Structure 1
Amino acid sequence: MVSRVVFGRGSFNQLNEILSPKRLNTKAPFIFLVDDVFKGNAWLTSRIPLSYEDKLLYISAAEEPKTSQVDALVEEIILTHKERPSGIIGIGGGTLLDLAKAVSIMLTNKGESKDYQGWDLVKNPAIYHVGIPTISGTGAEVSRTTILTGPQRKLGINSDHTPFDQVILDPELTQGVPKDQWFYTGMDCYVHCIESLNGTYLNAFSQSYGEKALALCKEIFLEGSLDVQESADKLMMASWHGGMSIAYSQVGVAHAMSYGLSYLLGVKHGVGNCIVFEHLEEYYPEGVAMYKAMREKHNISIPQNICANLTDKEFDIMIDVSLSLEPLWENAIGKNWKNIITRQKLKELYQKM
């Protein structure tokens, strides 16, 4: 679990107070990985406490994070600075938070990041790392994984060394998020709840967090009685609770299939979950019905026919990626999932998207 967290509007201003005791020495910098959407945004960037040899790196979140991107960042940091950094701070959405987690791991573990895609492969603790989400829903701020697209698959570095040492939850930082993006990442949180609460891995711990996150999602996306600030505050907490729920259980069909879309077509994670979830009535009938009510209420258009012109070989690539995520399928279907989820079944589902 994340060991330290602060929450509240304006809590981003505590960043210097939080980081200062963690500085190893004046030659060991803090590296800030910041979504490049904030480039030129002095309201946020002027409050980043740069000192000594600290470095701010703007990174585009236009594409899902890649293992090659992680390796390039680690190499740049090693070549630029004589000493190992005091810490890595990720400021942005799920992409930036996952990059920050992965870079902090790879600064203390040999090899390439693709070598650590899987469960509990990381041997050495990561360096100190901090997560500061600027959009709510992904749960990346609290999860024990960092989702990366590698040369052969899209899979997380899942380990006890992955979670952030410190998280700052400041709902003010989410202002200005475009409505579509707000919905897509919010639905990522919602799908976390549905897949956790309907999974075979469900336990009392994950259920308590999942039920709270689901209640918050209903309040935010269905009831519509909250003002803008209260909605932002509650969505940030829904994201946290949803992430905690899947950390102690697992996700399911939507995520397994979304990874295939992302790997082959580069579809962003939140959008991919929505595209897939449109067609999962067989597995989550009540959840899909509620999702569609939310989509209609907020007048959101989901991309259609993205798989219309794919070849059999391309369908096979997506199916291979999806089937490789065995814990997700076992959570969703049960231990006999391989007798139920066939390649033909997945192809028929993908053909609807």
Structure 2
Amino acid sequence: MSYKNFPMVSRVIFGRGSFNQLSEIIEPKRLNTNAPFIFFVDDVFKGNAWLMSRIPLSYQDKVIYVSANEEPKTEQIDQLVEDIILTFKERPSGIIGIGGGCLLDIAKAVSIMLNNDGESKDYQGWDLVKNPAVYHVGVPTISGTGAEVSRTTILTGPERKLGINSDYTPFDQVILDPELTKDVPKDQWFYTGMDCYVHCIESLNGTYLNTFSKTYGEKALELCKDIFLNNTLSVEESQDKLMMASWHGGMSIAYSQVGVCHALSYGLSYLLGIKHGIGNCIVFNHLEDYYPEGVALFKQMKETHNITLPQGVCADLSDKDFDVMIKVALSLEPLWENAIGKNWKKTITPETLKALYQKM
């Protein structure tokens, strides 16, 4: 049997205030004074002196603000890459993503595409990237997506929503500073935290499960229960633990795979532009047939934090719309195989998926 030989994030720093060490971490990687560091920053931090004053800019370095209101698109990545190539004399020394999953995915995708020809849509899939990415650093400012640790960067392309899954995708360096998550709005905190929770449930209940995934998944699940069901944690403890739950949840799917919820959520996101965290919540709420215990616990967490999910997001859709979502969801074959097994096509039919979408 042949085992997967997975890359990991090669360097990681954890601790409150560790963001202040960004300069000393990246400066040795500077190629020369004409090869800039490009900082992709979530535009919610525009005018936020507490964070922005700590970004170490010198020489040709540049901050590019990006909105995370929409999920990253392949055409957006191609445009950013083209702008960088046209603006600077030399390839960047490094790409630094500061923000949530969207910003981290953008940083990963741009760093790959700066060293690989063609369009980013050509690399959506598994192991299609030929050349190593430019040096890239991830600084999450919200916890849960696992984007800081995963070997994929999720992009919505012209045909589908699918990651660039490759050995060159993971960050070279990650800075885990829980202090950076202090201003996350409550709903957003819950939705993104639930992305982590769903990673655990799908990984731990999947047919791809192995001891590597299981060890990380169980730890992440234990942390999620502590964070979302225990009222005695301090704000700081909760922030620290969710940042580590996100890391462990991301690791749990590195060596296994996600499942039903993510497959359906990609369909919602592709057609309706619903963001990943909230999309997962909308879908997972209706998956008691697949993950009975996980969904029961999710509903308890939702109640504990007084979260109301959007209703009827699929109420006005045409048959054609449903077909588009179903096609996207069914194209994610490894997810279904992990969730249901090798013969998943016998039970997962377009009709099955349409009935699920109609409940949402």
- Supply the distance in 2 between the matched residues of 1:20 and 1:179 (Cα, whole angstroms): 35
The SS at the match of 1:135 is coil
Partner of 2:256: 249
- Supply the distance in 1 between the matched residues of 2:27 and 2:285 (Cα, whole angstroms): 47
Question: Could you tell me which of 230, 233, 244 is aligned with 1:237?
Answer: 244
Deviation at 1:132, TM superposition (A): 0.1
Partner of 1:331: 338
1:263-342 correspondence to structure 2 within 5 Å: 263-342=270-349
Deviation at 1:225, TM superposition (A): 1.5
- Contact preservation (8 Å) 1:219, 1:225: no
What residue ranges of structure 1 are gaps of 5+ in the alignment? none
Partner of 1:117: 124
Partner of 1:185: 192
Deviation at 1:156, TM superposition (A): 0.2
Partner of 2:357: 350
Whether 1:56 aligns to 2:81 is no
Question: Could you tell me which of 218, 223, 242 is aligned with 2:225?
Answer: 218
1:73-88 correspondence to structure 2 within 5 Å: 73-88=80-95
Partner of 2:21: 14
- Contact preservation (8 Å) 1:136, 1:185: yes
Question: Could you tell me which of 188, 207, 212 is aligned with 1:205?
Answer: 212
- Supply the distance in 2 between the matched residues of 1:152 and 1:224 (Cα, whole angstroms): 44
Whether 1:29 aligns to 2:36 is yes
The SS at the match of 2:155 is strand
- Please tell me the residue identity of whatever aligns with 1:88: I
Question: Could you tell me which of 258, 262, 266 is aligned with 1:259?
Answer: 266
- Please tell me the residue identity of whatever aligns with 2:322: F
- Please tell me the residue identity of whatever aligns with 1:235: L
- Please tell me the residue identity of whatever aligns with 1:143: S
- Supply the distance in 1 between the matched residues of 2:91 and 2:209 (Cα, whole angstroms): 40
1:96-115 correspondence to structure 2 within 5 Å: 96-115=103-122
Partner of 2:143: 136
Partner of 2:154: 147
Deviation at 1:68, TM superposition (A): 0.6
- Supply the distance in 1 between the matched residues of 2:144 and 2:232 (Cα, whole angstroms): 19
Percent identical across equivalent pairs? 82
Deviation at 1:231, TM superposition (A): 0.2
The SS at the match of 2:312 is coil
- Supply the distance in 1 between the matched residues of 2:324 and 2:233 (Cα, whole angstroms): 43
Query: 1:9-35 CA deviation, whole Å, 9 max, x = no partner?
Result: 000000000011000000000000000
- Please tell me the residue identity of whatever aligns with 1:260: G
Query: 1:197-220 CA deviation, whole Å, 9 max, x = no partner?
Result: 000000000000000000000000
Alignment RMSD, CA only? Answer: 0.3
- Contact preservation (8 Å) 1:64, 1:266: yes
Q: How many residue pairs get matched?
A: 353
The SS at the match of 1:244 is helix
- Supply the distance in 2 between the matched residues of 1:350 and 1:216 (Cα, whole angstroms): 30
Deviation at 1:307, TM superposition (A): 0.2
- Please tell me the residue identity of whatever aligns with 2:107: A
- Supply the distance in 2 between the matched residues of 1:171 and 1:255 (Cα, whole angstroms): 26
Question: Could you tell me which of 147, 157, 160 is aligned with 2:164?
Answer: 157
- TM-score w.r.t. structure 2 length? 0.98
The SS at the match of 1:131 is strand
Deviation at 1:237, TM superposition (A): 0.1
- Supply the distance in 1 between the matched residues of 2:83 and 2:266 (Cα, whole angstroms): 28
- Supply the distance in 2 between the matched residues of 1:185 and 1:318 (Cα, whole angstroms): 22
- Supply the distance in 1 between the matched residues of 2:133 and 2:139 (Cα, whole angstroms): 17
Deviation at 1:223, TM superposition (A): 1.6
- TM-score w.r.t. structure 1 length? 1.00
Partner of 1:92: 99
Deviation at 1:145, TM superposition (A): 0.1
The structure 1 segments of at least 4 consecutive aligned residues displaced by more than 2 Å after TM superposition are: none
- Supply the distance in 1 between the matched residues of 2:298 and 2:104 (Cα, whole angstroms): 26
- Supply the distance in 2 between the matched residues of 1:4 and 1:244 (Cα, whole angstroms): 15
